[in-house]
């Protein structure tokens, strides 16, 4: 049985998001990406997860929430 994909919140042009996407891919982690540039309606959902912090990338999975673990871009 495969683990459920992690949820990755990103935005277009964010170098930290690209690095996190590449790191997860290198580790073989299944990802469901939500690009906030393309899906601005998801911002409200992100703000609930981050308790109001407007920063990406955010990784949600395995019972954990990682907010910009290696640095991030505000929006």
What DSSP string runs through the chain?
Answer: -PPPPEEEEE-TT-HHHHHHHHHHHHTT--EEEEETTT-GGGHHHHHHHHTT--EE-EEEETTEEEESBTB-EE-
User: Residues near 1 by Cβ (< 8 Å), separated by ≥ 6?
Assistant: none
What domains can you pick out in the chain, each with its CATH number? 6-74 (3.40.30.10)
Residue 75, pLDDT score: 84
The pLDDT assigned to 57 comes to: 98
* pLDDT tens digits in sequence order for the chain, 75 residues long: 467 899 999 999 999 999 999 999 999 999 999 999 999 999 999 999 999 999 999 999 989 999 999 899 998
**What's the confidence (pLDDT) of residue 4?**
85
Strands 58-61 and 55-56: unpaired
């Amino acid at each position: 049985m495969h683990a459920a994909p992690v949820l990755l919140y990103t935005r277009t042009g964010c170098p930290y998001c690209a690095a996190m996407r590449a790191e997860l891919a290198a580790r073989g982690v299944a990802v469901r990406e939500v690009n906030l540039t393309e899906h601005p309606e998801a911002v409200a959902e992100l703000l609930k997860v981050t308790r109001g912090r407007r920063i990406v990338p955010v990784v949600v999975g395995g019972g954990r929430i990682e907010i910009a673990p290696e640095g991030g871009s505000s929006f």
